[in-house]
A and B are shown apart, each in its own frame.
Chain A
Amino acid sequence: MGYLNNQVITVDAILTKKGRELLAKNDGSFRITQFALADDEIDYTLYNPTHPSGSSFYGEAIENMPLLEAFPLEQQIMKYKLVTLPRGTAKLPVLDLGYSAITLNQGASISITPQTLNYLGNSQTFETSGYALTVSDIRLLNTFTGLGIDTTAATNANTEATTALNQTLGTNVSSTIIGTQFSLRGTTINTLFAPTNTSINGTLTFIGLDSGARLTIPLTINYTT
Chain B
Amino acid sequence: MSFKRLETDDFVISNDSITSTLWSDNVPTLTTFFSNSIQENSSAGTYYLSVYNTSSTEQQVQFDIAYCDALGSGSALYNNAVPIYSPTRTLYGQYRTMILEDENLNFIFGSSAQTGIDACGTTITSSTAVISDNFWMISLERARYKQSIFPGSLNLTLSSSTPGVHGAQISLTDNSNDITTVPYIAGTRAYQIVSGSNGNGISNNGGYTTNSGSYGIMFPDLGLIMLNPIALSYSIGLSPSRSNDSDGHNNTRLFTAISQSSFGLNSEETISSDYVFVRARNSEFNYSENPSFISGSTGEVIYTNFINAPQTYITTVGMYNDMNELVAVAKMSRPLLKDFTKEALIRVKLDF
Contacts and interface: CB of A to CB of B under 8 A. Distances in A.
A80 B329 contact: no
Interface string A45-73: 10101000000001100111111111110
Interface string A19-30: 100110000011
Do most interface residues of chain A lie in helix, strand or loop, or is the interface mixed?
loop
Nearest to A7: B345
Nearest to B326: A74
Contacts of B234: none
A67 B332 CA distance: 7
B98 interface: no
B284 interface: yes
Given A39-B335, A80-B290, A89-B307, A11 B330 contact: yes
A77 B290 contact: no
Contact of A68 (B298, B303, B331): B331
B: contact size bracket: 35 or more
Interface in B319-341: 319-338, 340
Interface in A81-135: 81-85, 87-94, 117-118, 129
B286 interface: yes
A12 B319 CA distance: 12
A145 interface: no
A166 B309 CA distance: 50
B284 to A, nearest CB: 4
Interface in B281-336: 283-294, 297-303, 305, 307-308, 310-336
A36 to B, nearest CB: 5
Contact of B317 (A15, A35, A94): A35
B3 interface: yes
A210 B313 contact: no
A38 B325 contact: no
Contact of A83 (B289, B311, B321): B289
A75 B282 CA distance: 29
A91 B300 contact: yes
A1 interface: no
B280 interface: yes
B348 interface: yes
A92 B316 contact: no
A78 interface: yes
Given A82-B288, A84-B283, A16 B294 contact: no
Contacts of A13: 276, 317, 319, 328-330, 348-350
Contacts of A39: 288, 290, 293, 312-316, 335
Contact of A32 (B311, B316, B321, B349): B321
B331 A8 contact: no
B301 A91 contact: yes
B347 A9 contact: yes
Interface stretch (A151-159, A167-175, A185-193): A151-159
Contacts of A210: 1-2
B186 to A, nearest CB: 32
A16 to B, nearest CB: 5
Contacts of B314: 37-39, 82
A83 B299 contact: no
A40 B316 contact: yes
Contacts of A49: 303, 305
Contact of B329 (A77, A85, A117, A214): A77
Residue of A58, A72, A84, A90 most packed against chain B (CB within 10 A): A84
Nearest to A18: B325
Contact of A29 (B5, B321, B338, B346): B321
A156 B323 contact: yes
Contacts of B334: 63-67
B351 interface: yes
B296 to A, nearest CB: 9
A196 interface: no
Contacts of A87: 283, 286, 308, 340
B142 interface: no
A3 interface: no
29 contacts: A9-B347, A10-B346, A10-B347, A12-B351, A13-B319, A14-B330, A15-B350, A19-B327, A31-B322, A33-B5, A33-B322, A35-B320, A37-B338, A38-B314, A39-B335, A40-B315, A59-B311, A70-B316, A77-B329, A78-B318, A82-B285, A82-B312, A85-B286, A90-B301, A91-B301, A92-B287, A92-B294, A94-B294, A117-B299
5 closest A-B pairs by beta carbon, nearest first, are A212-B2, A153-B323, A19-B327, A82-B285, A13-B330
